[in-house]
A and B are shown apart, each in its own frame.
Chain A
Amino acid sequence: MGRGPRPPVWLAVLVSARRAAALINSPGLTFGVLSNWGGQGTSPYTTPGQVAAAAALEAVAAATKAAFVVSAGGNFLPQGLPGARQDWDHPRG
């Protein structure tokens, strides 16, 4: 099994100190997931259901100390942001 050079001992000590601090702060990891939350195309650019779910997400995120939110697209419904996008010329996205 290939393995790189072993890191020095002081690094391991630092790591464990950091882990110990983290253990006190936040056990585990919680994050929120949602998608297709992007409101609507006309004013007020939100939907009542979106606002309600946002409040609920806020409450749950506060209770579980959510570390981040992952959105699987659908950011600005129904047609995205205004304007023409740039031509895609970036080989890495």
Chain B
Amino acid sequence: MTVHAAATPAARPRIGRPLTRSAAAPTLPVGTSNSPQTLARQAATWGDVYNGPALSAVPWYTCGSFQDWSGNITAERGLTEGVSGRWQFPTLWHTFTVDVEPSYNTLQIIMVDTVTLTGLMRNNPLPTPPGGFQPPSPPVRQQSAGSDGGGQTGFYTDADVHSDTGASHWTGQAPAPAPAATPPPATSDADILAGFSSAGGAGAAAYGAGTRRRKAGRRLQDFNLRNNPPISSAQWRWLTHVVNTSTADWLIVVGNDPIWSAGEHGPTWRLVDDLLPLLDAHGAALYIGGRDPLSQHFKPTAQFSNVDVITVGNGAAGNASMAALLPSAALNPPGSLAFVFGNDTGFVTINLTPPGPERPPSTLTVTFFDSQATELYSFSKQNNRTPPDPFGGHGVATTAPVQLRHEKLWLLSGAAVFFLGGGGYFAYLAASAPEEAPKRVRRSTKARAGAGELRPLLGGRRGENTLDDTGL
């Protein structure tokens, strides 16, 4: 198994080359990632738990959740010990590509940071569906110029994210126009900060009141991620670029917030509106989420996409009552919830088995387990994506954009050199020729004064003064 990973932007899979990982951009100073407390917590929660011979030999790719963001996520990122370390969290969003060995199939896994991608720091509000599930047609998306600061298209306003307008846009009704010059809603900066402080946030515990007050201005800004569209739009741009230019046969996207979920958190509308169509357009096979402590499988529905959505959020706590309640079940596409399990902790294995050494359509199998390694549920699917050429061709979604543009560029520059250079040369000749001709005439008339008209008759060459030589 070979892993070639890239932080940003996604490297095209380099088959048959010793795999180098294009390192992430020079890392930030990571703060307290080397502190004894951080290392002890990592060892207690992770290193001493997942330490069997099989698990300790393989990399552990991870991304952030809202819990990680409420603590020191830069320290989590900084725990990455180079490309060969086990803990792989090089940047908040990153991607890597693996070979499915007997064939030329490649699998690209894209890890996104849904906290910044959606701008959702806190729990998704649970909208009350008036008439049950009604898909939006067309999806109504607000373009906000106010609270998110930049007028980013599709970036949700405070009202979208933190009030029931989520329900209104979901039921297909146009959201009520926001009144102009509305004061910021109550769930704003101060509220978020208060929420973190009162929840006994790690930052609040580690710093005294004075430090907290000094840092308040800064923390207001970076806690309030909804109001930080550069982070979100940078990641959306990166994600679009990665899926656009991916040459992998299989695409799987991983993030903490689920696209669909029947649990307490429920579906993440920003992802339903924007991520799901993107993944569907590029033939991604699977989206893996967490958040709710449930194992779920949502089958693709014809009205939405061919993307299977699973959540596997019961890594540490399986809550039976949560599974029994399923408060958001009605918000998901009807008939899509094929499996749900929350009585116990569990995990998932994903297998890609190509049936032959040629370029077959391989099969992806997802298997859910509980904490006793009992197989609970399993499903298989074929690829939605046409496999690209192994030697640098392009997949379905990427027929045109990259190399063709370069070829056109080369052609254009070649033509420019040819025409401009050739034209310039001829222009030079044309410009210099009339200057030389009079000079010669002048020189010859000076040398052979008075004999100019006889020269053609006598047949003398231009350089020889035949008349003077003969003395005529």
Contacts and interface: CB of A to CB of B under 8 A. Distances in A.
Interface of A: 1-4, 6-7, 11-12, 14-15, 18-19, 22-23, 25-40, 43-47, 49-62, 64-93
23 contacts: A3-B393, A11-B16, A22-B101, A25-B101, A28-B102, A37-B316, A46-B44, A50-B315, A50-B345, A53-B314, A55-B52, A60-B373, A62-B52, A68-B3, A70-B109, A72-B312, A73-B65, A80-B71, A81-B72, A82-B41, A83-B71, A87-B222, A91-B230
Contacts of A52: 345, 371-372
Contact of B71 (A18, A54, A79): A79
Given A27-B353, A29-B1, A90-B25, A80 B45 contact: no
- Main SS class of interface, A: loop
B28 A36 contact: no
B28 A89 contact: yes
Contact of A81 (B38, B109, B362): B38
In the A-B complex, the 4 residue pairs with the smallest Cβ-Cβ separation, listed nearest first, are: A80-B71, A37-B315, A73-B65, A35-B290
Interface stretch (B53-61, B443-451, B458-466): B53-61
A31 B315 CA distance: 16
B382 interface: no
Contacts of B69: 80
A79 B200 contact: yes
A37 to B, nearest CB: 3
Given A6-B391, A77-B67, A92-B7, A86 B54 contact: no
A4 B235 contact: no
B67 A38 contact: yes
Residue among A38, A52, A55, A87 facing the most chain B CB atoms (10 A cut-off): A38
Contacts of B317: 36, 47, 49-50
Contact of A53 (B35, B42, B346): B346
B309 to A, nearest CB: 12
A49 B317 CA distance: 6
Nearest to A57: B347
B98 interface: yes
B425 interface: no
Given A19-B357, A76-B71, A33 B348 contact: yes
A18 B228 CA distance: 46
Interface string B54-93: 1100111111110111111111100000000000000111
Contacts of B234: 91-93
A52 B30 CA distance: 32
B180 interface: no
B255 A72 contact: yes
B235 A74 contact: no
Given A72-B255, A81-B41, A92 B24 contact: yes
